[in-house]
Amino acid sequence: MTRRPVHVLGLGIASSLGDGAEAHRGWRDAVPVLDEARFAPHPLHPLAPLPFDKTIPRRESRQMENWQRLGTHAAGLAIADAALSERVAEMDLVVAAGGGERDAALDAQILATRPDEAGLHAALMNGLRPTLFLAQLSNLLAGSISIVHGVGGSSRTLMGEEIAGAEAMRMAWARVAAGSSTLALAGGAFLAERPEILLLHAMGGRLHRGPWVPMDEREGLVLGSAAAFLLLGPGPGMVQLTHVATDQGPPEASEARLDALLIDAPPARPGAIEIWAGPFGTPRPGLRLADQFGHTVEAAFPLAVALGAMMLRDGAPQIRIAMRGAFRGEAVAVLEPSE
Amino acid sequence: MRIAVTGIGMVTALGWGAEANWEAMLAGRSGVRPITRFDTTGMRTRFAASVDLPEDRPRHPVSVAERSRRLGEAVIAEALAQAGLEAPFPGPLCIGLPPVEIEWPQRLELNAADYPGLIEAASGRLDLQAEFLFGGTATRLAERFGTRGVPQTVTTACASGSSAIQMAIEAIRRGETDCAIAAGAEASLQPETLIRFSLLQALSTRNDAAEKASRPFTLSRDGFVMADGAGALVLEREDHARARGAAILGYVLGAGEAADKFHRTRSTPDGSAIIRAMSRAIADAGLEPSAIGYVNAHGTSTPENDKMEALASHALFGEAPPPISSTKSMIGHTLSAAGAIEAAVCLLALRDQMLPPTINNEDPDPELRLDTVPVARKHRFEAALSNSFGFGGQNVSVVLGRAD
């Protein structure tokens, strides 16, 4: 099958450093933004205050919580960055999503009172707000992006933590390359500062405890809030996404699978910059994404691709991204200047 | 290049196995019944089309994640056996699944009085991690059947099963694989989810006659009925299936989708998004609307959906749309699995040239002007359309074709 080149036409980033390309240009040397108190003993990188009220109509914002607002905001930045808002109706959307917010106060009340089965159900019937369900359903981030920005092509939401972020990028890239999509908006959003999110990631047993230290000096993972979306198309554009590959299997063979994903990749160019987007340190070389942003789970791989695209615009010769998920999954991507 | 179906698996409240389900559907049986899995005292809706397991214990039913895995495992095993294949499967798993999370029985078992205590108590519980990660259920299925690559776990709400079929045929068409498993598994029926859907006023409240509650296209329809279930298809390039001598059960001829930009829970008033999904699917199959001989409706039995679907059918097919039935009248709304189950139903209907009924059609809504097939009947047709319209505006239609 003939493959079209795939260009990065626009990117939208929001994180603990702020939003937009300018706020992230110096990300390699930025001082990490941390909150070590709110979920002590677990430090995390909180989301910067962002102007959601300027980019999301109030009527829509009321149907969301911050996770959906964050993703909707970043998707809008990508559309604006590409200056393609007149073509939203034909954009295909691929979102990597976790679950939205729970009502933490209601949960806490139930945990404190330990009701019996009937009491639990009564507490839920009386305490849950109807709109919260819409904020919580994973596919409603994509739904909110469609409603707020008018994105009207196909819409798919993938689940599966960080590898879902990589698979979303791969699916969008493959569809554009194969000609089955002319504009694909792909990315993910992750909001770390939520107790139910810390609970989920605590189960893996590797949440870092105590004061923050860099990845290569810690065993565990530190979570961070971020969203990143990329608008991909056949071009023209300054930056080409030349390779995206993913795999998954038993953890013991992960290293071999990760190596194999680069077999069909373009060779490394002199001065190529490597980015490691995984949650834990690794002997592999490269910039540690999670040192600046924390592990941003579904957003991690799209964030690495977006930052890489930004660095290419600023003159880097090649960006090579690799990631291994905390639970499962391996992924790589290569970005290069357009011919 | 056509994409052949060589294996089908199905589990619903009507039973385990595609043939058992098909027989029950042709007989017009209902799988909807009062919920016994948990206490429903005081709830607005106290019935569902559930698939209960021997492991369901009082106050500790099997979780959404684990029940989805069990149902998914059953239907994939059934489909692979029919296709004459076994693990390791030489292609990807594309599967529609519900979002999952730790549930109240597990939270309360951790014996903590607040979230910090819960986080501490859950630390290192790898069993809980594998069960409740968003990628956990699909990963366990992928490793059970030895599928290749990242399992594509999709949630487009009620369209998830159809999205999974679409992603599978795209991967085959792109040449990434010769075959794929397309599936959907659903088990969201737990107290908190039932309450959440009730708060949205999406569910039927016909508690005095549960088996009559799912009544698509009638005047007295009042909401959908939650259901457990799963469906799976083994998809292959036609030449791949023929080369290995597999029996071809039918074809997935095309798929189409369109996101609705109008509202989270309601369709664009003119039906344009769902019309677009249907017409894209038919065009993708290389057919004209007149070639569609049967529509398996999304047909949820909500006032809104059935009205919009009828409107879209008339817009697309003209004054006399093909027969359109909703098997949700019997098996309820299996949400993430509905697209996979209903595509399988279309394939069985095409095979036997029999239309499954819309039961409970005692007071058809005259404004809809549809032939909703109140009783199963013979019908000559070559292609069927399966509709899935998701909560949140994600609409997918799939076209199925009869085996030669």
Range of the domain at B33: 3-99+134-402
- As a residue count, chain A comes to 339
Going by C-beta distance under 8 Å and a sequence separation of 6 or more, which residues neighbour residue A195? A39, A104, A107, B115, B116, B118, B119
Cross-strand bridge partners of residue B354: B378
Residue A170, domain member (yes or no): yes
The amino acid sitting at B5 is V
Coil, strand, or helix at residue A69? helix
Lowest mean per-residue pLDDT among A318-332, B212-226, B250-264: B250-264
A158 has a chain B CB within 8 A of its CB = yes
A120-142: average pLDDT = 93
- State which residue of chain A sits closest to B265, comparing Cα positions: A134
Q: How many domains does chain B have?
A: 1
Interface test with A, best of B89, B150, B177, B260 (most A CBs within 10 A): B150
- As a residue count, chain B comes to 404
A138-161: average pLDDT = 95
A98 has a chain B CB within 8 A of its CB = yes
Predicted local distance difference test score (pLDDT) of residue B329: 98
d(CA B38, CA B93): 32
Which chain B residues have a beta carbon less than 8 Å from that of A180? 170, 173-174
Q: Cβ–Cβ of B156/A156 closer than 8 Å?
A: yes
B115 has a chain A CB within 8 A of its CB = yes
d(CA B197, CA B190): 11
Residue B128, domain member (yes or no): no
Instruction: Name the residue with tokens 């009172």.
Output: A113
Domain CATH code at residue B280: 3.40.47.10
Q: From the CA atom positions of chain A, what is the Rg in Å? A: 20
Q: Under a CB-based contact definition with an 8 Å cutoff, are residues A298 and A96 in contact?
A: yes
Residue B123, domain member (yes or no): no
Cross-strand bridge partners of residue B279: none
Interior/surface letters B369-393, b for 16+ CB within 10 angstroms, e for the rest? ebbbbbebeebebbbbbbbbbbbbb
Interface test with B, best of A67, A114, A148, A203 (most B CBs within 10 A): A203
Residue B390, domain member (yes or no): yes
Range of the domain at A322: 7-100+137-337
CA-to-CA dists, residue A105 to A68, A101, A120, B353, angstroms: 19, 11, 14, 55
The answer to whether ipTM exceeds 0.90 is yes
Lowest mean per-residue pLDDT among A264-278, B147-161, B199-213, B254-268: B254-268
A12-26: average pLDDT = 97
Q: How many domains does chain A have?
A: 1
* Mean pLDDT rounded to a whole number for chain A: 96
Residue B241, domain member (yes or no): yes
B379-386: average pLDDT = 98
Which chain B residues have a beta carbon less than 8 Å from that of A125? 42-43, 195, 198
**Three-class secondary structure assignment of A130-158:** HHHHHHHCCCHHHHHHHHHHCCCCCEEEE
Tokens standing for residue B123: 């630390």
Tokens standing for residue B104: 């109240």
Tokens standing for residue A190: 């992750």
Which chain A residues have a beta carbon less than 8 Å from that of B176? 174
Residue B112, domain member (yes or no): no
d(CA B227, CA B328): 9
Q: Which of residues 265-284 of B touch A (CB under 8 A)?
A: 265, 273
CA-to-CA dists, residue B317 to A71, B293, B346, angstroms: 38, 11, 18
Cross-strand bridge partners of residue B13: none
List strand residue ranges (DSSP E) for chain A, in order: 7-15, 18-19, 44-45, 92-96, 155-159, 184-190, 223-224, 226-233, 239-247, 273-276, 287-288, 319-324, 330-337
Q: Where are the alpha helices (DSSP H) in B113-244?
A: 115-122, 126-132, 136-145, 160-173, 191-199, 238-243
Residue A120, domain member (yes or no): no
Query: With pLDDT > 70 as the criterion, what percentage of chain A qualifies?
Result: 99
Cross-chain CB nearest to A142 (options B43, B191, B394): B394
Predicted local distance difference test score (pLDDT) of residue B20: 98
The amino acid sitting at B91 is G
Inform me whether the pLDDT recorded for A18 exceeds 90. Answer: yes
Cross-chain CB nearest to B129 (options A99, A133, A327): A327
Residue B113, domain member (yes or no): no
Residue B278, domain member (yes or no): yes
A72 has a chain B CB within 8 A of its CB = no
Inform me whether the pLDDT recorded for B72 exceeds 90. Answer: yes
Query: With pLDDT > 90 as the criterion, what percentage of chain B qualifies?
Result: 95
Predicted local distance difference test score (pLDDT) of residue A1: 55
Coil, strand, or helix at residue B178? coil
d(CA B232, CA B216): 24
Predicted local distance difference test score (pLDDT) of residue A339: 78
Q: Cβ–Cβ of A63/B101 closer than 8 Å?
A: no
Tokens standing for residue B59: 């106050």
d(CA B332, CA B326): 9
B172-176: average pLDDT = 97
The residue among B258, B255, B368 whose CA lies nearest residue B309 is B368
Higher pLDDT, B128 or A1: B128
**H or E element: which one contains B254?**
strand B250-259
Q: Which of residues 303-332 of B touch A (CB under 8 A)?
A: none
A297-311: average pLDDT = 98
CA-to-CA dists, residue A246 to A132, A179, A323, B57, angstroms: 34, 20, 9, 39
Inform me whether the pLDDT recorded for A249 exceeds 80. Answer: yes
Cross-chain CB nearest to B99 (options A108, A122, A138): A138
- How do strand B229-237 and strand B179-186 relate by DSSP bridges? antiparallel
Q: Under a CB-based contact definition with an 8 Å cutoff, are residues B176 and B188 in contact?
A: no
Q: Under a CB-based contact definition with an 8 Å cutoff, are residues A96 and A158 in contact?
A: yes
Query: With pLDDT > 90 as the criterion, what percentage of chain A qualifies?
Result: 93
Inform me whether the pLDDT recorded for B262 exceeds 80. Answer: no
d(CA B121, CA B114): 11
**Three-class secondary structure assignment of B45-90:** CCEEECCCCCCCECCECCCHHHHHHHHHHHHHHHHHHHHCCCCCCC
CA-to-CA dists, residue A214 to A31, A45, A211, A221, A289, angstroms: 11, 13, 10, 10, 11
For residue B153, give how far its alpha carbon lies from the nearest alpha carbon of chain A (Å).
5
Domain CATH code at residue A58: 3.40.47.10
pLDDT range class, residue B255, cuts 50, 70, 90: very high
Tokens standing for residue B127: 């069993």
Q: Give the tens place of pLDDT for each residue, A150-201.
A: 998 999 999 999 999 999 999 999 999 999 999 999 999 999 999 999 999 9
**Three-class secondary structure assignment of A210-261:** CCCCCHHHCCCECEECEEEEEEEECCCCCEEEEEEEEECCCHHHHHHHHHHC
Q: Model pTM greater than 0.90?
A: yes
Inform me whether the pLDDT recorded for B182 exceeds 70. Answer: yes
Residue B236, domain member (yes or no): yes
Coil, strand, or helix at residue B165? helix
Q: Where are the alpha helices (DSSP H) in B158-302?
A: 160-173, 191-199, 238-243, 272-284
d(CA A186, CA A155): 10
Lowest mean per-residue pLDDT among A122-131, B61-70, B326-335: A122-131
Q: Under a CB-based contact definition with an 8 Å cutoff, are residues A257 and A329 in contact?
A: no
Residue A126, domain member (yes or no): no
Cross-chain CB nearest to B261 (options A42, A146, A166): A146
Residue A150, domain member (yes or no): yes
Q: Cβ–Cβ of A159/B257 closer than 8 Å?
A: no
Instruction: Name the residue with tokens 């819309």.
Output: B358
Q: Give the tens place of pLDDT for each residue, B114-173.
A: 999 999 999 999 999 999 999 999 999 999 999 999 999 999 999 999 999 999 999 999
Predicted local distance difference test score (pLDDT) of residue A135: 87
B163 has a chain A CB within 8 A of its CB = yes
pLDDT range class, residue B59, cuts 50, 70, 90: confident
Backbone angles phi, psi at B259, to 5 degrees: -85, 140
Predicted local distance difference test score (pLDDT) of residue B261: 81
Q: Which of residues 100-119 of A touch B (CB under 8 A)?
A: 102, 104, 107-108, 110-112, 114, 117-118
d(CA A111, CA B183): 36
Which chain A residues have a beta carbon less than 8 Å from that of B152? 158, 167, 171
For residue A237, give how far its alpha carbon lies from the nearest alpha carbon of chain B (Å).
24
d(CA B293, CA A45): 56
Higher pLDDT, A283 or B314: B314
Q: What angle do CA A255, B94, B64 make, to 5 degrees?
A: 95
Going by C-beta distance under 8 Å and a sequence separation of 6 or more, which residues neighbour residue B91? B147, B148, B171, B177, B178, B179, B180, B181
Q: Give the tens place of pLDDT for each residue, B105-119.
A: 999 999 999 999 999
Q: Cα A228 vs. chain centroid, distance in angstroms?
A: 5
For residue A126, give how far its alpha carbon lies from the nearest alpha carbon of chain B (Å).
10
